[in-house]
């Protein structure tokens, strides 16, 4: 993007993302777009960080006066061991993607759950989103599933049926995230197709269907015609799951907005401005 940013001086606020790998992260581009749009004197950089250096990163960020960091794969869970405080969303999910620094303390939070739900709301509209939260079927039990379940529960999901290849991981998720009314049920991976009969929303949080990953093999023939299908995989944007769902008349939601909306919420934490996800920003990220 064009560089109209001011030079770094004593007044330039510094932000960044830590991960491994991180070189291809689009987050610097997103945040710089908003710095420019809202006239904020700041820089956002991608830092390749190995796991053994997380404690040093937190101390270094404090010493350097870095104001906020995003955390990406594979550090979202491990980072919790090195911060001074864990805000509720990160506690619930068991992972953080956003850190902010306040009075010398590092605070971890999570905006991925917001990203999953806000992307759904933006693509479906608020009313249709509420309708599809009646009977949710979640595929997967990794970090993305945890964020999705937390977000969907908070958004008012009445019933969530979760299935994962490794049952133990699903059981751990359910034990950590179960609500008192038992809204979260588990089914075996082999029984996932039967669970679709009553689904109002099917969400894939596994890596299946992603470029260079195995296909997601699931028949959609039992899925009601008014159910929504949401794939968090966005490389490719139109996954085989979404292509098949669309062909049989189901509404679909693509995963590309999640990155933008988790960034929107992180930006809000850091700058107290809820930045707009506008058409220009979306278009830049298509390239």
CB of 218 to ligand ATR, least distance (A): 10
Q: Which of 97, 164, 254, 262 binds ligand ATR (CB under 6 A)?
A: 164
Is position 19 an interface residue for ligand ATR (rule: CB under 6 A)? no
Check: CB of residue 107 under 8 Å from CB of residue 83: yes
B/e letters for 30-43, b = 16+ CB within 10 Å, e = fewer, are bbbbbbeeeebebb
Is position 172 an interface residue for ligand ATR (rule: CB under 6 A)? no
Is position 211 an interface residue for ligand ATR (rule: CB under 6 A)? no
242: part of which helix (H) or strand (E)?
A: helix 240-247
Instruction: Say which of 11, 62, 76, 169 is annotated catalytic.
Output: 76
Is position 208 an interface residue for ligand ATR (rule: CB under 6 A)? yes
Q: Residue 89 or residue 143: which is nearer to ligand ATR going by CB?
A: 143
185: part of which helix (H) or strand (E)?
A: strand 184-188
Interface region with ligand ATR, contact rule CB under 6 A, candidates 86-94, 143-151, 155-163, 240-248: 143-151
Is position 141 an interface residue for ligand ATR (rule: CB under 6 A)? yes
DSSP single-letter state for residue 13: E
Check: CB of residue 15 under 8 Å from CB of residue 71: no
Q: CA angle, 96 as apex, 94 and 100 as ends, to 5°? A: 140
Q: Which of 67, 169, 244, 269 binds ligand ATR (CB under 6 A)?
A: 169
Q: How far apart are CA 136 and CA 248, in angstroms?
A: 19
Q: How far apart are CA 167 and CA 265, in angstroms?
A: 32
Is position 144 an interface residue for ligand ATR (rule: CB under 6 A)? yes
Q: Residue 40 or residue 93: which is nearer to ligand ATR going by CB?
A: 93
Q: How far apart are CA 263 and CA 44, in angstroms?
A: 12
Is position 259 an interface residue for ligand ATR (rule: CB under 6 A)? no
102 contacts: CB under 8 Å, gap ≥ 6: none
Number of residues near ligand ATR (by CB under 6 A): 15
Is position 43 an interface residue for ligand ATR (rule: CB under 6 A)? no
197 is catalytic: no
Interface region with ligand ATR, contact rule CB under 6 A, candidates 5-13, 46-54, 110-118, 137-145: 137-145
Is position 214 an interface residue for ligand ATR (rule: CB under 6 A)? yes
Q: Which of 166, 185, 235, 243 binds ligand ATR (CB under 6 A)?
A: 166
Cis ω before 83 (30° cut-off from 0):
no
Active site residues: 76
| Interacting residue ranges for ligand ATR, rule: CB under 6 A | 140-145, 164-166, 169, 205-208, 214
């Amino acid at each position: 993007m064009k560089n109209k940013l001011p030079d770094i001086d004593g007044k330039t606020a510094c932000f960044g993302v830590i991960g491994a790998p991180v070189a291809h992260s689009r987050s610097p581009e997103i945040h710089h777009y908003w710095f420019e749009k809202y006239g904020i004197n700041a820089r956002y950089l991608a830092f390749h960080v190995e796991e053994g250096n997380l404690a040093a990163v937190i101390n270094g960020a404090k010493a350097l006066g870095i104001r906020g960091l995003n955390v990406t794969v594979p550090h979202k869970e491990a980072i919790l061991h090195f911060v001074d405080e864990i805000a509720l969303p990160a506690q619930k999910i068991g992972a953080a993607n956003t850190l902010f620094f306040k009075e010398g303390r590092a605070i971890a939070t999570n905006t991925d759950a917001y990203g999953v739900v806000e992307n759904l709301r933006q693509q479906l509209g608020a009313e249709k989103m509420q309708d599809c939260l009646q009977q949710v079927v979640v595929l997967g039990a990794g970090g993305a599933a945890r964020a999705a379940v937390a977000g969907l529960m908070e958004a008012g999901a009445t019933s969530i049926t979760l299935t994962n290849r490794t049952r133990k991981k699903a059981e751990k998720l359910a034990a950590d995230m179960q609500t008192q009314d038992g809204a979260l049920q588990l089914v075996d991976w082999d029984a996932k197709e039967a669970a679709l009969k009553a689904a109002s929303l099917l969400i894939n949080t596994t890596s299946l269907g992603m470029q260079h990953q195995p296909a997601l093999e699931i028949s959609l023939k039992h899925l009601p015609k008014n159910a929504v299908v949401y794939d968090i995989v966005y490389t490719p944007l139109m996954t085989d799951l979404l292509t098949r769902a669309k062909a049989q008349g189901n509404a679909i939601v693509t995963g590309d907005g999640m990155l933008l909306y988790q960034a929107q919420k992180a930006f809000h934490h850091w700058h107290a401005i809820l930045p707009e996800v506008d058409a220009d920003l979306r278009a830049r990220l298509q390239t």
